[in-house]
A and B are shown apart, each in its own frame.
Chain A
Amino acid sequence: QVQLQESGPGLVKPSQTLSLTCTVSGVSMSSADYYWSWIRRLPGKGLEWIGYIHSSGYSYYNPSLKSRLTISVDTSENQFSLKLTSVTAADTALYYCATKPNSLYHFDYWGQGTLVTVSS
């Protein structure tokens, strides 16, 4: 059974960098079967796709976040990470990591989510 767990600071100051890590168990991240994904739930709004990365290094980002976003993968630790720079209050959200099967466009396994608040 694939399991994902997000971790990282719950509070980030405006203009700083938001950094989160997702630890994966139950499957090797070296597997070609998945893209490793980040999705967030904005307060009072719906879900927003952030981006995903394959162990091969191919990555795809939401165009609205692309200039501030880096997603990376560490297969030796079975983890992948999100870095979002120059954050504002609009980046306050519940951040989820999830798996996307390769060549398909849905998300089948999800972490429980971690709340990140951007505030001074």
Chain B
Amino acid sequence: QSALTQPASVSGSPGQSITISCTGTSSNVGSYNLVSWYQQHPGKAPKLMIYEGSKRPSGVSNRFSGSKSGNTASLTISGLQAEDEADYYCCSYAGSSTVVFGGGTKVTVL
């Protein structure tokens, strides 16, 4: 069960849009629309931002959106703000009632 592949870091200026990729295989991301995304600030617990590929929990800004193409899922943050600087993790269903996480991406707001 190999981890999903995410870029180590992504950066952008305030107001810009950035996209974080999450690449898996046909055994996980490619076969199910069950990717979730988590935001983690230093010293804090992860926070669910997107589930089932593109759904936002109540209270999550609509600046966060999720999508998928083939074996790659993506999280887009539009109108980048200083508070968006954090680590982001993707997670996918991997069959047989198991899940697999990505290695994480550090987002820096320039």
Chain A residues with a Cβ under 8 A of chain B: 39, 45-49, 60, 62-64, 96, 98, 104-108, 110-113
- A49 with B100: CB separation less than 8 A: yes
A105 x B99 contact (CB < 8 A): yes
4 tightest Cβ-Cβ pairs between the two chains A and B: A106-B36, A46-B103, A46-B104, A106-B51
The CA of A39 and the CA of B23, in the complex, are separated in Å by 20
What is the bound-complex CA distance between A47 and B103, given in angstroms?
A: 7
Contact between A60 and B97 (Cβ–Cβ < 8 Å)? yes
Q: Closest residue of chain A to B103, judged by CB?
A: A46
- Contacts A47-B104, A49-B100 known; A105 to B93 CB distance under 8 Å? yes
Partner of A106, one of B1, B48, B102, B104: B48
Residue of B45, B92, B100, B103 with most partner-chain A CB within 10 A: B45
**Nearest Cβ on chain B to A58's Cβ, whole angstroms:** 8
Contact of B91 among A63, A106, A110 (CB under 8 A): A106
Pick from A39, A48, A108, A113: contact of B57, CB under 8 Å: A108
Name B34's closest neighbour in chain A (CB-CB): A105
Q: When A and B form their complex, what is the total count of cross-chain residue pairs whose Cβ atoms lie within 8 Å?
A: 66
For residue A98, which residues in chain B have a CB less than 8 angstroms away from its CB? 46
Q: Using C-beta atoms within 8 Å of the partner chain, give the interface range for chain B.
A: 20 to 34
A107 touches B48 (CB 8 A): yes
Q: Is the CB of A49 within 8 A of B99?
A: yes
- Which residues in window 55-110 of B have CB below 8 A to A? 57, 89, 91-93, 96-104
Enumerate chain B residues within 8 angstroms of A60, measured Cβ to Cβ: 96-98
* B109–chain A nearest beta-carbon distance, Å: 21
Q: Which of A63, A106, A111 contacts B45 (CB 8 A)?
A: A111
Other A-B pairs beyond A46-B3, A60-B98, 9, CB < 8 Å: A46-B102, A47-B46, A49-B99, A49-B100, A62-B98, A104-B51, A105-B91, A105-B93, A110-B47
